[in-house]
Structure 1
Amino acid sequence: MRRSRPLAIVRAMLALAGAIACAACSSGSPAVVSVQKKVQGLLGQPNVTSFLDVRFGDSLYRVQNRFPNGSLETAPYGADTYRLENIEVDGVRYQRVKYEFTSYSGMQLVMAWFTPDSSEQVLEKLIAAIGAPTEQDSAKGSAPADTRAMWRLPHGERVVFDGPKRFVAVLGPGGGPLRQDEAENEALDSP
């Protein structure tokens, strides 16, 4: 247990050094890109910590306070679910967003159905935030609306993007009990 703390401190120091180096250089210089790649290589791939300002691990109470117009439901396997309808954030329009909660780990699954005109933005935001997909099912040059992609991240998160169904899901690191709900919702048509 003690060995992981020094590693965390080293990672934080490397991230700070990388940020300082990036601030000292112009944003387009090759040195900046090189430093950024080295820092990311040392720190590992990014992980997903939140969706629409709801953090993985947040309580149902916090989500209700953040979005008071939502409705409380129970998922098919008994998990508490909070559903939002027709919201727009950063130019992306979502027809429906569902947050699912585990008893002990808080919010651990988010599923969102976006409008057809938001496909490109959703995929671009995912790639910008977490990098290239681990798996992708589409021909090179295919439109985002025709793309299916999945990411497996180092902290146990699983991200699914399904352009044809206009669906995105993020299963958090403590979301194991919710995998079946995610799989069933992924199979549904868009609302």
Structure 2
Amino acid sequence: MLVSLAGALACAACSTNSPAVASVQKKVQGLLGQPNVTSFLDVRFGDSLYRVQNRFPNGSLETAPYGADTYRINNIEVDGVRYQQVKYEFTTYSGMQLVMAWFTPDSSGKVLEKLVAAVGPPTEQNSAKSSAPADTQAAWQLPHGERVLFDGPKRFVAVVGPGGGPLKQDAAENDTALDTP
């Protein structure tokens, strides 16, 4: 079984134009399960506040409206995506479980493209499929409990981790109440 999986993964790394490769990729996905989001900017869901502070020492500690510890990073660029602000929120027992990020207008397409590449097409979309990313609102409910929100007009993306139930209200309020960070 391991040899078959290793072979399938090796073939999946080949040219994606091949129908055989697409078939292998679907089989590998079936073996590995549905896609999920495990981290954002190298901060994993479940990481401690201490780990995030070490990863981004220039950030600042805050308290969210509902009392959660929050770590804010301003003006960061990663993989061609510019974020004006990124906020990580933490639960008492589950570590980091919510990330909210506000990106620049020119990064809308890259953010949406990375989301679709990572987790597939949205489970909900409030705009036409041919709409520009800056005009698109989309959401994903992932099988491992994560919830991803993308709001192109507000230049906002949020990911609630599998243990982030207590933080969902913060994500909802930030999406509806804030036009800019």
Q: TM-score range by the shorter chain?
A: over 0.9
Higher Cα Rg, which structure: 1
Counterpart residue number, 1:83: 72
Counterpart residue number, 2:6: 16
Letter in 1 for 2:110: Q
Partners of 2:12 and 2:116 in 1: how far apart? 21
* Contact 1:14–1:39, Cα closer than 8 Å, also in 2: no
The residue matched to 2:29 in structure 1 has which SS?
Answer: helix
Letter in 2 for 1:50: S
* Contact 1:109–1:178, Cα closer than 8 Å, also in 2: yes
Give the count of matched residue pairs: 180
Structure 2 residue 108 is matched with structure 1 residue 126: no
The residue matched to 1:139 in structure 2 has which SS?
Answer: coil
Counterpart residue number, 1:33: 22
Cα distance change, pair 32–141 in 1 and its aligned pair in 2 (3 A): same
Partners of 1:78 and 1:158 in 2: how far apart? 21
Partners of 1:15 and 1:100 in 2: how far apart? 36
TM-score scaled by length of structure 2: 0.94
Cα distance change, pair 144–20 in 1 and its aligned pair in 2 (3 A): same
Partners of 1:176 and 1:120 in 2: how far apart? 28
Partners of 1:159 and 1:13 in 2: how far apart? 34
The residue matched to 1:169 in structure 2 has which SS?
Answer: strand
* Contact 2:127–2:136, Cα closer than 8 Å, also in 1: yes
Query: Superposed, which structure 2 residues align to 1:1-191 within 5 Å?
Result: 15-22=5-12, 26-187=15-176, 188-191=178-181
Partners of 1:141 and 1:126 in 2: how far apart? 16
Letter in 2 for 1:126: L
Letter in 2 for 1:19: L
Q: CA deviation at 1:20?
A: 3.2
Moved more, 130-139 or 42-51: 42-51
TM-score scaled by length of structure 1: 0.89
Letter in 2 for 1:79: A
Partners of 1:166 and 1:26 in 2: how far apart? 33
Deviations 1:137-190 (A, max 9, x none): 112311000000000000000000000000000000000110111111111112
The residue matched to 1:101 in structure 2 has which SS?
Answer: strand
Letter in 1 for 2:123: T
Counterpart residue number, 1:3: none
User: Which segments of 5 or more consecutive residues in structure 1 lack a partner in the other structure?
Assistant: 1-9
Partners of 2:145 and 2:160 in 1: how far apart? 8
Query: In angstroms, what is the RMSD of aligned CA positions?
Result: 1.6
